[in-house]
Amino acid sequence: MSTNSPWEAALSQLDQAAALLELDPGVHEILRNPKRILTVAIPIHRDDRSVSVYTGYRVHHNTSRGPSKGGIRYHPSVSLDEVKALAMWMTWKCAIVNIPYGGAKGGVVVDPKELSRDELERLTRRYASEILPLIGPDRDVPAPDMGTDEQIMAWIMDTYSMNVGHSALGVVTGKPLSVGGSRGRGDATARGVMYVTEATLKHRGMKVDETTVAIQGYGKVGSPAVRLLEQLGCIVVAVSDVHGGVYNPKGIAADALAEYHVETGTVVGFPDGDAITNEELLELDCDVLIPAALESQLTGENAGRVRAEVIIEAANGPTTPEADVIFEERGILVVPDILANSGGVTVSYFEWVQDLQAYFWDEDEVNMKLRSIMERGYVDVLGLAEERKVPMRVAATALGVARVAEAHTTRGLFP
Ligand code: NAD
């Protein structure tokens, strides 16, 4: 089995949780299979009037607890295997924080940086039209992921609304405030990562102001994470993006790095630090490592060289099952993605609730409710991990699987 495959990894995590729960074999089999898979061809006119055709996906893994929810990724390495895994992780994630959603994910095999803004809009509107039968406020509610942003969500919302004949704010989340976005959504994933980091440090008796942190990825999650962890009092010693990284053992000033990134489009070359590669960042001598870029970054090959005491998974699927085994043997705590990065989907849920009620909350209210949900999720997962003496990932998956299985059993099997 190639466990660098996200789908194989997701299945093996489910199987492990099922064994722990002594899950009903029928329910286990249902959960091993995504509910729906749609593959679409997306033809668009390029700016020179030539035609390019892209491949897109939308996968619903499970909808037993409510409409499905999950981001849309634009990246050249998107594959059905990856989208299926991400959809399954969304199912567990929503159940762990106990919000009434199932799991979905979408993606287009494209490098959005190679398209003009007009081309990106045409691609997005055509992709949205192709997946239209699957999405809707009561069915499936997409959100941003790697390579997509709030403008893309606004185009999807508009495309859907034009088709149904009225403004449907609740069809996507992560939208701009002007079209039903939520205050606090932009930072929500990183803020959740901060709450989870804070809870972990407290639980392990580590002093926040002596804690050094390395963050891989400086996008919608990584960049606010640098600022929020600095606010928490940690020392962020290294940050990277796709081009490379920067390291300063005394700490990297979040504001200065953000300004530099606006000017140059990368963290590479930031003057107040030394150049470092992504590989070096992952193996850095630090207390907390936060992968916030891609999946399969911590593998059987490099896990033995990781020196962090704690790994907080801001990205989805950054650790392969082989690496998990090595971390377990070496006593490195992994706070899994389906718990650590669930702040994003939690505030997406708040956005959807606000859209459906047409009543919007202030940012303090959003952050307060987010903290309370994240802390509850953390306590639930940690409690189960300690009770059953299993790693947090196994406990988190088991908690999610148990809640979804309960919904299946309660509803019964149709027809
Ligand atoms: P993004 O596109 O905004 O940023 C991705 C970052 O990763 C960029 O800085 C990019 O340069 C960097 N990167 C890309 N390839 C890399 C590589 N090979 N090595 C090192 N860095 C690389 O994406 P995002 O929304 O910040 O998402 C990052 C991760 O967090 C993904 O795994 C995503 O699924 C997960 N996630 C995102 C959200 C959200 O709200 N955006 C929520 C939950 C989970």
pLDDT in tens, 328-378: 999 999 999 999 999 999 999 999 999 999 999 999 999 999 999 999 999
147 CA distance to ligand 1 middle (Å): 8
Q: How many CA atoms lie within 13 A of 333 on its CB side?
A: 19
DSSP, res 22: T
- Is 69 catalytic? The answer is no
Which residue from 354, 343, 284, 355 is spatially nearest to 313, judged by alpha carbons? 343
DSSP, res 250: T
- Any ligand 1 atom below 6 A from CB of 18: no
- Any ligand 1 atom below 6 A from CB of 256: no
- Any ligand 1 atom below 6 A from CB of 314: yes
Is residue 195 within 8 Å of residue 377, measured between CB atoms?
A: no
- Any ligand 1 atom below 6 A from CB of 316: yes
- Any ligand 1 atom below 6 A from CB of 292: yes
223 CA distance to ligand 1 middle (Å): 10
pLDDT on residue 5: 86
DSSP, res 319: B
- Any ligand 1 atom below 6 A from CB of 189: yes
Rounded to the nearest 10°, the torsion over CA 180, 349, 93, 336 is 70
Which residue has the CA at smallest separation from atom 42 of ligand 1?
A: 344
Q: How many CA atoms lie within 13 A of 414 on its CB side?
A: 3
55 CA distance to ligand 1 middle (Å): 21
Q: At what angle do helices 80-96 and 392-411 cross, to 10 degrees?
A: 80
pLDDT on residue 248: 98
Catalytic residue among 105, 113, 202, 369: 105
pLDDT on residue 2: 46
Q: Which helix (H) or strand (E) holds 278?
A: helix 278-282
Render the burial of 78-112: b for 16+ CB within 10 Å, e for the rest: bbbebbbbbbbbbbbbbbbbebebbbbbbbbbbeb
What is the widest separation between alpha-carbon atoms in the chain?
A: 64
Helix (H, G, I), strand (E, B) or coil at 54: strand
At residue 103, what are phi and psi to the nearest 5 degrees? -115, 140
284 CA distance to ligand 1 middle (Å): 20
Which residue has the CA at smallest separation from atom 13 of ligand 1?
A: 242
Q: Tens-digit pLDDT profile for the chain (415 aa)?
A: 445 789 998 999 999 999 999 999 999 999 999 999 999 999 999 999 999 999 999 999 999 999 999 999 999 999 999 999 999 999 999 999 999 999 999 999 999 999 999 999 999 999 999 999 999 999 999 999 999 999 999 999 999 999 999 999 999 999 999 999 999 999 999 999 999 999 999 999 999 999 999 999 999 999 999 999 999 999 999 999 999 999 999 999 999 999 999 999 999 999 999 999 999 999 999 999 999 998 899 999 999 999 999 999 999 999 999 999 999 999 999 999 999 999 999 999 999 999 999 999 999 999 999 999 999 999 999 999 999 999 999 999 999 999 999 999 999 999 9
29 CA distance to ligand 1 middle (Å): 31
- Any ligand 1 atom below 6 A from CB of 242: yes
pLDDT on residue 295: 86
Between the alpha carbon of residue 133 and those of residues 88, 120, 127, 356, the distances in Å are 20, 21, 12, 20
Q: How many residues are given for the chain?
A: 415
Write down the pTM of the prediction.
0.95
Place of tokens 């609730």: 353
